[in-house]
Amino acid sequence: MNLLPCSVAMALFVVLAANVAQGIAASARLKPDVVLLDIRLPDGTGIDACPAILKNSPESRVLILTSVLDDTVVDDAIRAGAHGYLLKEIDGRALVAAIRDVAAGRSTLDPAITVRVMQIVKGGGTTRDVLAILSPQERRVLALIAEGCTNKEVAAQLGLSEKTVKNYLSTVFEKLHVSRRSEAAVIYAQQKKP
């Protein structure tokens, strides 16, 4: 865990933790102004950690900083209490500005997320269109899984390595909030019904 002092016209400590347990413990102990959380952590997700951090340190503000651009995950993070959601591509100055904004009581969303939400709403969709949250390649992988293919068979059909297929499945499971391929296949089948 790293503590980074930032001066913003007030003493501000940003807590970075390696996992959910560390983040919750450090936040309870240090009562930081801002907690930066990633979505993917070794022992859970930043979304899992957010309510516990805010319960133990209600004055803290939570800022999600991740590489995950997924409408459902953004929605889940905000519902869990996050005050901001940024993508890791953000440059250093913009990150510092976002931390200052969140510390000052404002909320922030990455511009790419704002654009995505606007496109969905203008297109008449909702952010909860289940299969719409998957990339085209993730949908192809899921379609083959729903047909009963093994990872090796999916890899052969799509020209991927088995490890890449496993990575796609991991992302699909996370996006669909499932832990088994059978659950993902059922969701796919239900969404594909005429």
CATH number reported for the structural domain that contains residue 185 in this entry? 1.10.10.10
CB 41 within 8 A of CB 16: no
CB 15 within 8 A of CB 26: yes
The average pLDDT across 62-69 equals 87
Same domain, 167 and 108: no
40 located within any domain:
yes
d(CA 66, CA 76): 14
Domain final residue pick, 70, 87, 120: 120
The average pLDDT across 129-155 equals 87
pLDDT given for residue 69 in this prediction? 77
Q: What is the pTM of this model?
A: 0.57
Give residue-wise pLDDT tens across range 93-137.
999 999 988 888 888 888 877 766 555 555 555 444 667 788 889
Per DSSP, 88 falls in state: T
Cβ density class 5-29: b for 16+ within 10 Å, e for less: eeeeeeebbbbbbeebebbbbbbee
- Looking up tokens 């203008």 gives 122
3-state helix, strand, coil in the chain (%, to 5): 55, 15, 30
Structural domain for 166, as ranges: 131-192
Domain final residue pick, 92, 120, 148: 120
Domain final residue pick, 62, 96, 120: 120
Other C-beta atoms closer than 10 Å to the C-beta of 40 total: 13
Same domain, 76 and 34: yes
pLDDT given for residue 117 in this prediction? 58
Q: Identify the helix (H) or strand (E) that includes residue 12.
A: strand 11-16
pLDDT given for residue 16 in this prediction? 63
